[in-house]
Structure 1
Amino acid sequence: MSFDTDIAIVGGGLNGPALALALASSGLRVTVIDAQPAGATIEDGFDGRSYALALTSVRMLEGIGLWEAVADEAQPMLEIKVTDGRAGEGPSPFFMHFDHAEIEEGPMGHMVEDRHLRQALLEAVEASDAIQMINGERVTEQNVDATGITLTLASGKLLRARLCVGADGRTSETAQRAGIKRTGWAYGQTALVCAVAHELPHDGIAHQFFMPPGPLAILPLTGNRSSIVWSETAENAARIHALTDAEYLDVLRPRFGDFLGEISLAGARYTYPLSLSLAHEMIAPRIALVGDSAHGVHPIAGQGLNAGFRDIAALCEIIVDAQRRGEDFGAGVALARYQEWRRFDNASMALATDSFNRLFSNDNALIRMARDIGMGIVSALPSLRRTFIREAAGLNGDLPRLMRGLPL
């Protein structure tokens, strides 16, 4: 039976197009199926959404020819300061301070606005002769046989591929149709997301301020602007989000502090309920999961998109190497290598973010004292501090070639 495409990717957010570009660069034919109409998620102006891309994610974007399109709009993260305290009281005297100068590779990462990254991905996909983009379509059925998988779209069209990759988010219908179950729970927290303009320069420093209801991340953007990811209890977040912009800023200011001068909103405000969602398996016959389809974690360390990019880099390497050996890259043997590579790392990340959130999102006096002393110890020991810096840059672990700056 003939194939319409080598690999079908379900999901047109960020992970789907990035995976398509990486695969297409190796000579594979790829089809991306996105339920959203073409251009539906692109905003004309800045909408406040942005991503912290680790150094290794930047390397991957360089490897698939995308970084040049967003580099001029990216803000390097040169330092990270982690503090603990309560709103309006200022930070604890114990803190962690990480400086990119302590590693040889360069900035720990870059902040990139959603509008720039998404637009660059879609333009690169449109320019590729090896990628077909199907917008405004949903997959309603997937049927696997010995040599491939046939997808049925809502329009009735059939699409046959050697492999289907689910990049369709935490409620992945691809995973559900494959019978893959999930473990997870809600945190009772909601992230308030926005961007602010401020009077003073941020000097490329990212701040993470842990408060009893949840952490506040202040992440540097280009110019005198910063991205805000502010976690509150679900009840407080709903109340705060319903406020006017002026009232919203009045609540934010005691948490933000005055170290960057006066602040004002720059772009829209969003809220996202926070939860953990971990797929029991990352593969099924002729199916692989990447990104949030496989693992959705707390944004406490800003690693969600970076973990998805690691999935992409690893899966591409598995597929390309299998193809070069003359193997069937959609068969169970090849997909098992992908799961073995990524499953432990993703489960460890989910456990770490869950544990950090539980450790820091409380006001127990003894726990506060222990974690403050712990932060002081980490910051005082160069070897331990360097380990944390390398972790923030994504440099630890078994890295795929694309994340080591090597070609596929």
Structure 2
Amino acid sequence: MNLHSDIIIVGAGPAGLSFAAELAGSGLSVTLIEKHPLATLQNPPYDGREIALTHVSRETMQRLGIWQRIPADEIYPLRDAKVLNGQSSYQLHFPPPTQALGGPADCLGFLVSNHNIRKAAYEAVAELDNVTLLCDTGVAAAQTDLQQACVTLDNGNTLNARLLIAADSRFSQTRRQLGIACDMHDYSRTMFVCRMKHTLSNRHTAYECFHYGRTIALLPLEEHLTNTVITVDSDKAAEIEAMSPEALAASVQQQLEGRLGEMELVSSIHAYPLVGMIAARFYGTRCALVGDAAVGMHPVTAHGFNLGLASADILAKLVLEAERNGKDIGAQSLLSQYDTKHMLHAKPLYHGTNMLLKLFTDETPPAKLLRNVVLRVSNNLPPLKKLITKQLTG
């Protein structure tokens, strides 16, 4: 059996679905391949992850019909953000911006649960006539040449297309099959995510607490409900896993010195080994990488999906322009242009994040001193602070 479409997308995560949604009304036929069953796409399970969305991402998601499908009472404003270092009470503070995309702003961005983004993105794509979704289906092999891209499914069927898109995670097998190398960084740390209720208001303020030995990030949801992210060296992960819900909440409360009052675990706990990745290039012959298949960010800023959404948006605009002008949507020149545009933003963000993480998880005396200096300089240089705020807001 031999199927054919204009574009094949491997991976129906948020980035792959967003790219498919960009092609609505284009006349391009799209085949979307996903290893998970349809029921999982329709109702993705809660996975503990909260995604910080910029004003730019909100505008893109509104245009794609995704934002409107997220329950309004589960979109949480992120008013401002603060960074703490070690035992010092000094705070690097990012206040609400005065301006963002579309006009005045009163918050840095928005927090939305990953499972809600996935569900809304699926619902937007499910209504499109030009998208065929193949669920519960794996890719056995992927290859391309100057004429076409070819994918062989686990069941032996082959699909041919003018362009192949890999959107199947930072551990993308499709990227590997296409011969695109990557720089993968194992941080040797494990992240635990859960929701905690507390007696004092979080004031819709996010905190990144680089305490010695254990990092805690606080992502405000409701006024008395916060997504709590605990990061430890992986050899200490078993200690966290062995804690009772009461003991874990008490340990976080103690580490925060009662900043949020009494704390209570109110959700399941999810653990993720931290691995970052950036591909050596974001394209090959008649193929391109989007989302985490291109860049898998460390979640310290919770902004990884903003980068993935940007990659889908950049590539889709180039593809749509080529199609309108009767040009080849898989041309090397088009894909090279995508690579240049996305790499310009992704590469410095990826390496810059890694550099800061290395500094703020280094507990040698010189590093501790430098960490304090970096916070104070960032806080007291308006141009630098404005630049960082622009990154946070998109």
Output the TM-score relative to the length of structure 1.
0.89
Spell out, residue by residue over 1:128-179, the C-alpha distance to the aligned partner (whole angstroms, 9 max, x if none).
2121111000111223243321211111222221111000112211111111
Decide whether the 8 Å contact of 1:47 with 1:267 is kept in 2.
no
* Residue 97 of structure 1: aligned partner: 93
Spell out, residue by residue over 1:217-271, the C-alpha distance to the aligned partner (whole angstroms, 9 max, x if none).
1011135211122211001122212322222223322223322222111221111
Change (3 A) 1:44 1:291: closer
* Residue 224 of structure 2: aligned partner: 224
Change (3 A) 1:160 1:125: same
1:290, 1:319 → 2: CA distance?
13
Decide whether the 8 Å contact of 2:144 with 2:178 is kept in 1.
no
Task: Describe how 1:192-341 pairs up with structure 2 within 5 A.
Answer: 192-213=192-213, 215-341=215-341
Letter in 2 for 1:146: L
Task: Describe how 1:3-402 pairs up with structure 2 within 5 A.
Answer: 4-40=4-40, 46-70=46-70, 72=72, 73-86=74-87, 92-105=88-101, 106=105, 107-213=107-213, 215-394=215-394
Decide whether the 8 Å contact of 2:144 with 2:287 is kept in 1.
no
Decide whether the 8 Å contact of 1:77 with 1:206 is kept in 2.
yes
Letter in 2 for 1:93: S
Change (3 A) 1:3 1:329: farther
Letter in 1 for 2:173: E
> Shift of the alpha carbon at 1:45?
7.3
Letter in 1 for 2:216: L
Decide whether the 8 Å contact of 1:322 with 1:328 is kept in 2.
yes
Larger CA deviation: 381-390 vs 174-183: 381-390
Decide whether the 8 Å contact of 2:41 with 2:119 is kept in 1.
no
Larger CA deviation: 302-311 vs 361-370: 361-370
> Shift of the alpha carbon at 1:370?
2.6
* Residue 400 of structure 1: aligned partner: none
Change (3 A) 1:290 1:46: closer
Output the TM-score relative to the length of structure 2.
0.92
Change (3 A) 1:214 1:166: farther
Identity %: 29
Change (3 A) 1:214 1:319: farther
Larger CA deviation: 248-257 vs 65-74: 248-257
Decide whether the 8 Å contact of 1:213 with 1:231 is kept in 2.
no
> Shift of the alpha carbon at 1:201?
2.7
Structure 2 portions without partners, runs of 5+: none
2:232, 2:270 → 1: CA distance?
13
Decide whether the 8 Å contact of 1:212 with 1:360 is kept in 2.
no
2:300, 2:44 → 1: CA distance?
29
Could you list the runs of 4 or more consecutive aligned residues of structure 1 that deviate by over 3 angstroms after TM superposition?
41-47, 101-105
Question: Across the two proteins, how many residue pairs are aligned to each other?
Answer: 388
2:173, 2:44 → 1: CA distance?
30
2:47, 2:100 → 1: CA distance?
34
Structure 1 portions without partners, runs of 5+: 87-91, 395-408
Letter in 2 for 1:94: Y
1:333, 1:218 → 2: CA distance?
43
Larger CA deviation: 48-57 vs 287-296: 48-57
Letter in 2 for 1:95: Q
User: SS where residue 16 of structure 1 aligns?
Assistant: helix
2:145, 2:183 → 1: CA distance?
28
1:367, 1:67 → 2: CA distance?
41
Task: Report the aligned-residue RMSD.
Answer: 2.1
Spell out, residue by residue over 1:184-208, the C-alpha distance to the aligned partner (whole angstroms, 9 max, x if none).
2311111111111222332221111
2:27, 2:214 → 1: CA distance?
45
Change (3 A) 1:331 1:94: same
> Shift of the alpha carbon at 1:67?
1.1
Letter in 1 for 2:76: Q
Decide whether the 8 Å contact of 1:17 with 1:121 is kept in 2.
yes
Letter in 2 for 1:258: G
> Shift of the alpha carbon at 1:297?
2.4
